[in-house]
Amino acid sequence: MGEVVQFISNGTEALSVRDTVGLSMAHDPVARYIAKESHMAAFWDALISVYWSPKPRELHLMTKDCKSVVFARFHPEEKVSGLQAVLRDLRTVPTGKLSKLLAAIQLGQKIDRGKAAFAREVGPYIYVFVIGTRPECQNMGLGSILMRHINAIADSKGLPCYLESSSEKSRRFYERHGYHVRETVFMDKGAPPLFLMSRPPGSACSKGCTE
């Protein structure tokens, strides 16, 4: 169960990876605020579209049988291009609530500013876009297996990590793995918080991060 392997966009596991992300993030507070409930899977499929690669990537990982997956990238070497971002946005817009379009745009700008500020501060880093575990396999330690794997790669290269956490539960999960909140941002009044978090290389995990 604890085996970690890479996945690629044209591999036999691609459909399972998309399903795992969609199912694991179906109740994400920030996503539910801006996306139509009936389009949640398509929303996440659009977001991860810029991360797919036909070649193996060191930070595209899943546990055995695709029960838990993580999309991460080395920044700036594997930074999403302007064209990729535009194509992603064109796919994302139809999945969102029209009334929250402006809020979603504002959130995207805040996310971009947060990453830019972090890059100016530390230089190269690992960006963890999403980590998710299928609902029936949650609370079994699979997400922690992937998180420790990502953190070990970061430590071996002397790189900090950066991510956005969209719920209190995920924030606590990342904190157990050595991440801390740099900033808390909101799309608009009444929106759920988004936590901008980072981890310095070599940061020890707290009690419970191996569970």
Specify the pLDDT at position 207: 59
Instruction: Give this prediction's pTM.
Output: 0.94
Alpha helices in the chain (DSSP H): 14-24, 29-34, 40-48, 82-92, 101-122, 142-157, 168-176
Separation between Cα atoms, residue 141 and residue 156, nearest integer Å:
22
Residue 15 contacts by C-beta under 8 Å, 6 or more apart in sequence?
none
Alpha helices in 158-192 (DSSP H): 168-176
pLDDT in single tens digits along all 211 residues of the chain: 468 999 998 888 999 999 999 999 999 999 999 999 999 999 999 999 999 988 889 999 999 889 999 999 999 999 888 999 999 999 999 999 999 999 999 999 999 999 999 999 999 999 999 999 999 999 999 999 999 999 999 999 999 999 999 999 999 999 999 999 999 999 999 999 999 999 999 987 765 665 4
Separation between Cα atoms, residue 22 and residue 40, nearest integer Å:
7
Separation between Cα atoms, residue 207 and residue 164, nearest integer Å:
22
Specify the pLDDT at position 1: 47
What are the tokens at 160? 């900090």
Specify the pLDDT at position 2: 63
Instruction: Write out the CATH class of domain 4-199.
Output: alpha beta
Separation between Cα atoms, residue 177 and residue 205, nearest integer Å:
4
